[in-house]
Amino acid sequence: MNTAKTLFTTLNVLIFLTLLSIGLGLILSFFSFTELGEIDYSFTFDGNKIAISDLTIAHYIFMGLNLIFYFVFIFGLIKLRTAAKLILSNNIYNPSLSMNTDLAGKSFILTGVFWWLFDGLSSIHFDNTLSIGVSDKTFIYLFIICIGLFFMLTSKLFTNAIQLKTENDLTI
């Protein structure tokens, strides 16, 4: 049960940090849209100075889609947190445990696939490059997809365990 407590605590911290970073990003975006204050909202990326006023509508579309899938990722983390809470309460034969791990797996797969496509499309659109090679980020996306597949497999195992328990309880 110490592993489940560690998972539960790690998920709480990860959800908090992800929501905090999204909130700070939204506040910065709000300030850039309204141009409150005299702050220079520019940053350097790969040696190029980029000002927020130079961003096109495509940048904002990509940021919006990315934000939506951050929330899908957080939804998966919350479902995984709920599953960890059920395991901590020793409620393994609860059907909601199977449902929560399945939803967490599906959201991780959806997020990994989208971020992989998002990375490729943004490099094509913004950098005008098409790379067939495998980068470090690709392995991260594949790892997120593998984690999602693992949680979907675990969900199926929980469903089978629940069916076996109900059959066992009915047998005299």
Residue-wise pLDDT for 100-112, tens only, equals: 999 999 999 999 9
Q: In a 3-state reduction of DSSP, which class is residue 44?
A: strand
Q: How does pLDDT run across 118-164, given as a tens digit for each residue?
A: 877 777 766 666 666 677 778 888 999 999 999 999 999 999 999 99
Least confident of 3-12, 58-67, 109-118: 58-67
Full domain range(s) for residue 64: 2-170
- Residues whose CB is less than 8 angstroms from the CB of residue 149 and which lie 6 or more positions away in sequence, other chains included: 105, 109
Beta bridge partners, 49, equal 44
Which residues, in sequence order, are bridge partners of residue 42? 51
Give the rounded percent of residues in the chain with a pLDDT score beyond 70.
76
- The pLDDT confidence band at residue 24, using thresholds 50, 70 and 90, is confident
**Other residues' Cβ atoms within 10 Å of the Cβ of residue 124:** 12
pLDDT at 23 over 90: no
How far is 119 from 54, CA to CA, in rounded Å?
21
Structural domains in the chain (count): 1
* pLDDT over threshold 90, residue 27: no
